[in-house]
Amino acid sequence: MNRRIRDVKILFLLLLLPALISAPAACAQTAAPAPAAPSRVEAVAFESKLIGKPLAYNVVLPTDYAQTAAAKTRYSVLYLLHGLGGGARDWVSVRARLAEHAAQYRLIIVVPEGKDGWYTDSATVPMDKFETYFVEELIPDVQRRFRTNEARAGRAVAGLSMGGYGALKFGLKHPEKFALAASMSGAFSAASWKPEDPLPEFVRPSITRVFGPADSPTRPANDIYRLVREMTPARIPALPFFYLDCGTEDFLAADNRALSGLLMEKKIPHEYRQLPGNHSWPYWDQQVREILKLAERRLAAPASPSN
């Protein structure tokens, strides 16, 4: 009788064994974390006294920004610039998934309005001071409204096309303000383009309006290649880290390769990536994730006052 009971127990364990083996895998699947919710996007009404126009901007906030535990935390800031023909809504519209990509980073992202001003003080329209507005009005306004790290180590600027030009130009002209300057598909030759050059028609009016005629002093003052060529060895250590990428099918690929070569010649620390892609939102939506990773590595971590 005892032998029969023992045999039944053995048979029961053999039948149960497959379920026991698969149980850990089932538990692991149940315990998998859910994807993070997108970051909150906040629209800010702002009026530039310099330009004399409303220039609303958007802010993507870290997911923990409103939590009690983070009430005194200050976050690093990434200013993300739009391209020609775009606006402050571009990066937070259906064109890109910035709020989704940003959810895993404890970083404030500001998407400003630059109109078609090439982030430059215009040679022909005195009120269109899109560089001065950015440096003297926008950054201080963001610092007043949000808990930002106000040190250089807590600030980066990046952008696409016209915004890529603006971002690297700001890094070269205002190195004391940025630890990182990054570009996707940067239109780096903008200040040297002439009306007779083979440009897309929608580009011509803004080039003439912003940079003026061929002999305008605005052109050399905002020529990225000239700014790099004239950079002295003594000034290079004070520059931010530069990052630039461009799609292999992009009409601006040659400009990006040329700038990377010049940065290398001048021994200016930077990273250049040339990747499959063209001048389009699928490419930029992909590459902005790389810039977020880079910003996390290069900028100061969120911190609270010690007192």
What's the pLDDT at 13?
A: 41
pLDDT per residue over 81-114, tens digit each? 999 999 999 999 988 999 999 999 999 999 999 9
**What does the pLDDT look like over 60-79, one tens digit per residue?**
999 999 999 999 999 999 99
- Digit-coded pLDDT (tens) for 283-306: 999 999 999 999 999 999 999 876
Query: Sorting pLDDT into bands at 50, 70 and 90, what band is 36?
Result: low
| pLDDT, average across residues 230-251 | 98
Give the rounded distance of the alpha carbon of 252 from its chain centre.
19
Give pLDDT tens digits for 125-144: 999 999 999 999 999 999 99
Question: CA–CA separation, 113 vs 132, rounded Å?
Answer: 13
Rounded to an integer, the average pLDDT of 149-176 is: 98
Average pLDDT over residues 185-190: 98
Burial 276-302 (b: 16+ CB within 10 A, else e): ebebeeebbbbbbbbbbebbeebbeeb
Lowest mean pLDDT among 4-13, 147-156, 185-194, 281-290: 4-13
**pTM here?**
0.87
Percent of the chain at pLDDT above 90? 82
* Strand order across the beta sheet in which 40-44 lies: 40-44, 57-61, 108-111, 77-81, 155-160, 180-184, 241-247, 270-275
| pLDDT at residue 268, rounded to an integer | 98
